[in-house]
């Protein structure tokens, strides 16, 4: 029997947040708890902070599936990269480490994949057939690829090489801030990026997430694409929702 509620935990470079999620609606059934990510982002320190957070979130709710999303390529429970956290995560059996420390089965997933899955279950991609590409525009560019609601993990499409450059260094929101680009100049770079994705994947829908998506009216109308492109519904809670939904679908 599939769970109707689960706990989602989103580990980022600056904060770790979590809540109990209603899997039929995507609503949070508890307060969203947020703790600062320990300085240096070392595995043991992050595990300890996650345990503290889970103790708070899981109080009075009994045993629920737990999903954790993390800024790394995740293969077979191992973190194969590390963004804004310690390099000690690279090659680490992270899922097993968390399961041992928390003393329960968890589902461990890439953070952009969790955000994409959240949109497919509770947001802008719900009920959308075909290929959906979610991109998060932030420090880098995260990506999630779904086909008929099925997630293809670890796509890392922010690292597409365009004009001889890792293009997230040119088109991420951090590049706009770093170079003090106008919306129009930044949109020119986004145009090149999304046109390349369009050519490679022929998607049915683009979804744009990340904090800047709340200002979507300043840049999405400047793009000229064949594919519909819309802002994400779930920004701050996307990782929590997607991690929880995936934990219920793939219990440990």
pLDDT at 1: 54
List Cβ<8 Å contacts ≥24 apart for 213-218: 213/137, 218/183
Q: What is the SS3 assignment for 233?
A: coil
- Residue by residue, pLDDT tens for the chain (252 residues) are 578 999 999 999 889 999 999 999 999 999 999 999 999 999 999 999 999 999 999 988 878 999 999 999 999 999 999 888 899 999 999 999 999 999 999 999 999 999 999 999 999 999 999 999 999 999 899 999 999 999 999 999 999 999 999 999 999 999 999 999 999 999 999 999 999 999 999 999 999 998 899 999 999 999 999 999 999 999 889 999 999 999 998 876
What is the pTM assigned to this prediction? 0.93
Q: For residues 123 and 26, what is the distance between their CA atoms, to the nearest angstrom?
A: 9
For the record, the structure tokens of 16 come out as 């770790």
List of domains in the chain: 5-114+237-249 (3.30.420.40), 127-231 (3.30.420.40)
pLDDT at 252: 63
Q: What is the SS3 assignment for 143?
A: strand
Mark residue 129 as left, alpha or beta (left: phi above 0; alpha: psi -120 to 50; beta: remaining).
beta
CA distances 208 to 15, 115, 136, 173, Å, are: 22, 11, 6, 12
Q: For residues 242 and 113, what is the distance between their CA atoms, to the nearest angstrom?
A: 8
Task: Map tokens 């995936």 to a residue.
Answer: 246
Contact yes or no for 177/139 (Cβ under 8 A): no
Nearest to 98 by CA among 107, 110, 88: 107
**Residue 206 phi, psi (nearest 5):** -105, 135
Q: What angle do CA 56, 84, 64 make, to 5 degrees?
A: 30
For the record, the structure tokens of 7 come out as 């706990």
């Amino acid at each position: 029997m599939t769970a109707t509620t689960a706990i989602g935990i989103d580990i980022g470079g600056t904060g770790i947040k979590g809540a109990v999620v209603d899997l039929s609606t995507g609503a949070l059934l508890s307060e969203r708890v947020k703790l600062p990510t320990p300085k240096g982002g070392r595995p043991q320190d992050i595990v300890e902070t996650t345990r503290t957070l889970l103790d708070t979130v899981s109080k009075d709710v009994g045993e629920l599936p737990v999903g954790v999303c993390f800024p790394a390529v995740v293969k077979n429970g191992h973190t194969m990269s590390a963004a804004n956290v310690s390099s000690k995560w690279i090659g680490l059996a992270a899922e097993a480490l968390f399961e041992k420390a928390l003393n329960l089965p968890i589902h461990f997933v890439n953070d952009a994949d969790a955000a994409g899955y959240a949109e497919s279950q509770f947001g802008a991609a719900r009920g959308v057939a075909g290929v959906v590409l979610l991109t998060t525009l932030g420090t880098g560019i995260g990506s999630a690829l779904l086909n008929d609601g099925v997630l293809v993990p670890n796509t890392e499409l922010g690292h597409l090489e365009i004009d001889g450059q890792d293009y997230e260094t040119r088109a991420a929101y951090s590049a706009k801030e770093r170079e003090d680009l106008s919306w129009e100049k930044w949109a020119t770079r986004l145009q090149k990026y999304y046109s390349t994705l369009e050519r490679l994947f022929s998607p049915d829908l683009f979804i744009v997430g990340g904090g800047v998506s709340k200002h979507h009216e300043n840049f999405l109308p400047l793009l000229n694409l064949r594919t519909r492109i819309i802002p994400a519904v779930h920004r701050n809670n996307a990782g929590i929702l997607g991690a929880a939904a995936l934990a219920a679908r793939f219990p440990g």
